Every structure is written in structure tokens, then in C-alpha cells.
Amino acid sequence: MPSHASFSTVRFIRIDDFNASAKHLELYSRIFPRLLSFFPLYLMPRLSGWGLYPELDDIDWMRLYEYVVKYHLCVNIAVTAAYAGLSKIPLSKRYSQSAIRIISSLSSMSLVEVCSHGLTHCDDRGFRRFPKLFGSNRSQHREFGHGFSYSHQFCNLKVSKNILEDTFQVPVRTFVPPGSQYDQNTVEAAISAGFCNFSSRLYPGISYDGINFISDDYTLALHDRELFFEGVGYLDRFRPTSSYSLFSSSL
């Protein structure tokens, strides 16, 4: 099972990384990383720890739409608002328009909740996000947490929320920190930016007024990577019941 949840505790399905540049730029070897994590070895399918893989195409999205409607499966999707290429290209300018319509439609049917998975998913200072000639750049694909000021994190959270709400025409209430990396500034910035839910593998250790923490102990935390490589049928193994919820409907 991809996350800590077991079927006795799981209440939510969450699929991360839609529009995240990590699928193209987070590159390292998963085998003997110190020895084999150099370009171009880490691009080989058997060695690659994460990328490369493409976004789901229109056919994938239509299959996902039909699956979710057929089984009335409530799915929380974590979407990154802008692509961290040479510039921050907003979702609506590069993502499939058909996919955007499908997501909006499923949201209006209360089968999908759009969550923020950051503005760019990565450390967007300079060229840190790009693959290294040698070694892993995974830590550079964490947008929040240590080393980032409150104002930087607030700005990224607010812009992400605005882009997603404008694109999908739905309220975005849940924040999913990339890689579950965050700090106190992130939590306070998320509250100020208007988020009500915080979905992460890790609890912050203290409670905060104004935001509801949802641990991955209660969540099947998946990625669009599994859907790309195994198809929408991958969700079959997590469909013993139809009792999953959207994060915001659990408030």
C-alpha cells in the first residue's frame, strides 16, 4: 500500500502531482544512488527513481472520469498551479483543456476535490530545480519548509490558490505540501491564505486554530505516476468500499 493507511483506517484517496514539474525535472537513480545517479543513467526506466513520465493525456482523463463516475469514487487531487520550467507557466496555459473541463465537471458532481500542491512544487530560486549532472535533486523539488520565509511561502500559497480557483472555478480549501515538507511558517501562511485543511504524511506536533490536519494515516496517498504506468485500473485495489470522502466534506 503506497501510504501508511490501512483499509481499516482509510477515509480518503488523494492523488498528487498533476501538473507538477517533478515528473520531468526530479531525476535521480533509485538503485545505488551514490554510484549511478548521474546523467544520463538516471533516465533509464530501470534506474529512474521518479521521472521521467508525462502528464496524463486526454484519453487517460476520460478513462479516469468514467471510472470515478461509474464507482462514485470520491477522489482528492493535488494539483500544482504553475509549471516550473524556465518561467512559471500557469496551469491553464499548458495543461490539457479537456482535462481541466473534466476536473471541473467532477468537482461540480462532488466526486473530486481540487487541492493545492504548491505553486511550482519545487525550490524555484535560480536553477536549483534542474537535474544535476551527478546526484539526486530530490530535495530541490520541495517548495515549502526549512529555509523559506513566511512571506515567500504565503505568496506561493496564495498565488497557487488563486490560479487553481480561477482555472477550475471551485473553492480550493486543502493544501498538500510537496513531499510532506513544511514548517511553522508554512502552516501559518496556509491559514492566512485561506486554506481550511492540511493533508500531509506528517503531523506538525502542535495544534493550530483555523486549520484541520488530515494525516496520511487516514489517506491513501497516491501519485499520477501510478495512473500513468498502470492505468486507471490501478485504483481497483483500493475500491473495497465506496466510503471515501472529499477532504472538505469531512469538516
Which residues form the interface with Zn ion (CB under 5 A)? 16-17, 178
**Which of 2, 40 has the CB closer to Zn ion?**
2
C-alpha gyration radius of the chain? 17
Closest CB 175 distance from Zn ion, rounded Å: 12
Closest CB 247 distance from Zn ion, rounded Å: 16
Peptide bond connecting 52 to the previous residue in cis, omega within 30 degrees of 0: yes
Instruction: Give CA torsion, residues 28, 214, 13, 109, to 10 deg.
Output: -130
**Which of 23, 173 has the CB closer to Zn ion?**
23
Closest CB 30 distance from Zn ion, rounded Å: 16
**Which of 90, 178 has the CB closer to Zn ion?**
178
Closest CB 19 distance from Zn ion, rounded Å: 10
Instruction: Measure CA 155 to chain center.
Output: 18
**Which of 117, 173 has the CB closer to Zn ion?**
117
3-state SS of 10-51? CCEEEEEEECCCHHHHCCCECCCHHHHCECCHHHCCCCECCC
Closest CB 178 distance from Zn ion, rounded Å: 4
Peptide bond connecting 204 to the previous residue in cis, omega within 30 degrees of 0: no
Contact 31, 42 (CB under 8 A): no
Closest CB 65 distance from Zn ion, rounded Å: 22
Contact 186, 206 (CB under 8 A): no
Beta-carbon-side half-sphere exposure of residue 3 (alpha carbons within 13 Å): 28
**Which of 38, 228 has the CB closer to Zn ion?**
228
Contact 163, 81 (CB under 8 A): yes
**Which of 105, 128 has the CB closer to Zn ion?**
128
